Amino acid sequence: MSMELFFLIIYFMAMIGIGLWSMRKSTADSEAFLLGGRSLGPAVTALRLQSTSMSGYMFMGAGSLANTQGYFSMWYALGDVGGGVLNLSILGRRMRKLSQMLGAITSIGYLEHRYPSVWTRLIAAPIALFCMFFYLLAQFLAGGQGLSMVTGISLNWSLIIAVGVIVGYTFLGGYLAVAYSDFVQAIIMVVGMLWILIASLQAVGGLTQGHEAIGNINENLLTMWGAEGQYLGAWGVILGALLVFSIGYLGWPHVVVGHMSMSRPSVARQASIYSTGFNLLFIPSAYIIGMLSLLIVPNLDNPELAIFQVAETVLPPVAVGIVMAAIMAAIMSTADALLLQAGTIASHDLWARFTKSVNPKTSVNVSRLTVLLLAVVGLVLAMARPPGVFSIVVFATTVLGSAFVPAYVCAVWWKRANTVGALSSMVVGTAAAVTAQVVDSTELLGVDPMVIGIAGSVLAMVIGSLTTQKSHPVPERIAEAVREAGRVAPIPARLLIGEDAALASQRPADVPAGQER
């Protein structure tokens, strides 16, 4: 047995072990399975958010973009570095507090509580499921290709193994399994990426010599304007590159649900520090390695395998196995969160919401069945070889961000945001983002689809809300809760009247009602 395969087997067994351990704590009811009992501290909250956000894109899409376009890729990196802090700062504390006051335990249910209408859920849930499935497909592809290249196992069998492990611990342990495995995986990801970076710099004689050698290949690669200088002055494209992974995260249901699972609102402040540290170490490294791959593996056939092949070239077999575990960690940490959130939407936001007399165990079983179904369908499509990981991730992120960023942000920052505005925003944002990508607005207009989608979504939210204040006023209870969410103070007892009974049981024993910060 090769060292690479040995370390992967150990890693996979550890992930399944986390699922088995957490199964005892997380399957009693939907609350425990879907939110982990709202018990997560700052380190787990931050690293779960970051590892879930990074995905297999960082080991495949980032390396590919840097390999082909050089420092232009750093526009994506710049947005990505600040994405976690923006998410926790803009939404974190306020969303945790507001979700408790409104009695919400799912990311889509939270939107319906804030924008009260059955249509909120009926529109938001399908959009979220559609986009998350495509994002999940990208993770399956990344996992299968990486595992196949390092172990020599056929691509189809590699896909089956990778999907099987992901489904295994997600199926067993629910949110706790995902949160704690993501925490472990984030640490492995940073160690693995830094190891490859250091070895790569040593292989080319340092960053300065690496730059000189890359400049001899193509001087444009050392600029931020693309391999052919094609993005010089193309600020509509550059703005989109900055936005897609900075504010785009604010619209991911599988990411923002992490705010709701914090043990208390103040966790967001401490989590921001962990998030910043992770991003500064991890994100730039992936793009730099992608550029150095031009020197280390000059005859590379598939740019998406740049980081994989650099690792195999510059690291000893023992290290390759550990690094491969890091690569699988990035892929699996996102895939498990996507699967669980999709199961949540199907079971709690659709099945339980529109089916009478559904007990908690039935809801958990529906969630698990959805996880299994999505995994099977995704596996079949991955075997059919759809487009590359980068294009799929950007598509899904653009649509999710355009559909949900204004809805989530305005929910806690603008008390006049109403149901009509939110519904208009989700519909217009989705339609604008999809249309812009179908017609290729980057080529046609010189404007990235993310810019078009976000602009349309924001305008729809503002216009829809302001023109219907009289016909669809924000209920006073919700407006008061939004105002209270902005205060750094205990929640008044009167605002917990509408709290979901299940949430009350999750309050720390030493903290009385209304005292959570």
User: CATH number for the domain including 30?
Assistant: 1.20.1730.10
The whole-model pTM stands at 0.82
91: three-class secondary structure by DSSP: helix
pLDDT of residue 4: 66
List Cβ neighbours of 493 (8 Å cut-off, separation of 6 or more). Answer: 513, 514
Q: Is residue 128, in this structure, part of any structural domain at all? A: yes
Give me the chain's average pLDDT, please: 82
Which tens digit of pLDDT belongs to each residue from 349-390?
777 767 765 666 677 677 778 878 888 888 888 887 666 677
Distance of CA 273 to the CA centre of its chain: 18
Q: Is residue 346, in this structure, part of any structural domain at all? A: yes
Which tens digit of pLDDT belongs to each residue from 138-170?
888 877 877 787 677 888 888 888 788 777 766
Q: Is residue 142, in this structure, part of any structural domain at all? A: yes
**Which candidate, 165, 491, 203, places its Cα nearest to that of 333?**
165
pLDDT of residue 333: 67
Domain that holds residue 311: 3-389
Which tens digit of pLDDT belongs to each residue from 405-434?
999 999 999 999 999 999 999 999 999 999
Residue 511 banded pLDDT, cuts 50, 70, 90? very low
Question: For 101, what's the count of Cα atoms within 13 Å in the CB-facing half-sphere?
Answer: 30
Q: Is residue 196, in this structure, part of any structural domain at all? A: yes
Residue 172 banded pLDDT, cuts 50, 70, 90? low
More confident residue, 171 or 230: 230
Q: Is residue 497, in this structure, part of any structural domain at all? A: no
pLDDT of residue 7: 72
Tell me if 146 sits within 8 A of 5, measured CB to CB: no
pLDDT of residue 265: 81
Which tens digit of pLDDT belongs to each residue from 29-83?
444 455 545 557 788 888 878 877 776 778 788 899 999 999 999 999 998 888 8
pLDDT of residue 357: 54
Which tens digit of pLDDT belongs to each residue from 179-217?
677 777 788 888 888 999 999 999 999 999 999 999 999
Number of domains in the chain: 1
Q: Which residues pair with 262 in a beta bridge?
A: 40
What does the alpha-carbon distance between residue 359 and residue 11 come to, in Å, rounded to a whole number?
35
CA distances from 141 to 7, 55, 80, 159 (A): 21, 12, 22, 7
**In this structure, what token pair is assigned to residue 2?**
């090769």
302 backbone φψ class: left, alpha, beta (φ>0; ψ -120 to 50): beta
Query: From the CB of residue 512, how many other CB atoms can be counted at a distance below 10 Å?
Result: 11
Q: Which amino acid is at 419?
A: T
Q: Is residue 32, in this structure, part of any structural domain at all? A: yes
**In this structure, what token pair is assigned to residue 379?**
């596996």
Q: Is residue 327, in this structure, part of any structural domain at all? A: yes
Q: What is the mean pLDDT of residues 314-330?
A: 76
Q: Is residue 307, in this structure, part of any structural domain at all? A: yes
Q: What are phi and psi of 262, to 5 degrees?
A: -65, 145
233 backbone φψ class: left, alpha, beta (φ>0; ψ -120 to 50): left
